[in-house]
Chain A
């Protein structure tokens, strides 16, 4: 069964350092999402791609976060510089097309900023 792949699974970094997460969606899925899940809370959307284009990045802290999906397939989310408050689980999800299609989630990257 096809799955969304994410790496690394765990990342510990010091504040002010740069960190990057990678996501490979299910093959053929045009829409890719990055979510942040703070411990004890539900996921919150950071950015949504349709193919290689950003559809919604209204919740992305653009002063330190960036995301790209250059060839419309895999995607990278970067934080520079990391802050203590960025400690969270970063989830990637993909779907066939519209927001109403089922979203398939990867296992996430747990980030700890020290």
Chain B
């Protein structure tokens, strides 16, 4: 079945450091890919998405490129802030199937 694998956390960075959170997927078709963010005490929010190969999703300084050849959708940000501390989930969906999430990666940014 479809699945998403994320790098395990926590990822601890200093403010203004470069962020990469790896995400790879397995799917029988060509899924749409998403990154969701969950701040402490809140529900999940859609951060960015890409619906086809080579698409780049971007929002709030975060970017991710849909790489069909490596089945990856890595999340990047050039300069993280303390306010970016949260749990990040990679997810996929295609056809009529359900939204499938990875296990989440906790990011902690220190001042």
Contact = CB atoms under 8 A, between A and B. Distances in A.
B42 interface: yes
A84 to B, nearest CB: 22
B25 interface: no
Given A42-B102, A42-B103, A99 B43 contact: no
Count class of interface residues, chain A: 10 to 19
Interface in A75-114: 91, 93, 99-100, 102-103, 105-108
Interface of B: 4, 32, 36, 41-46, 49, 89, 91, 93, 96-99, 101-104
A42 B89 contact: yes
A4 B46 contact: no
Most buried by B among A43, A48, A91: A43
A99 B98 CA distance: 7
Contacts of B49: 102
A42 B101 CA distance: 5
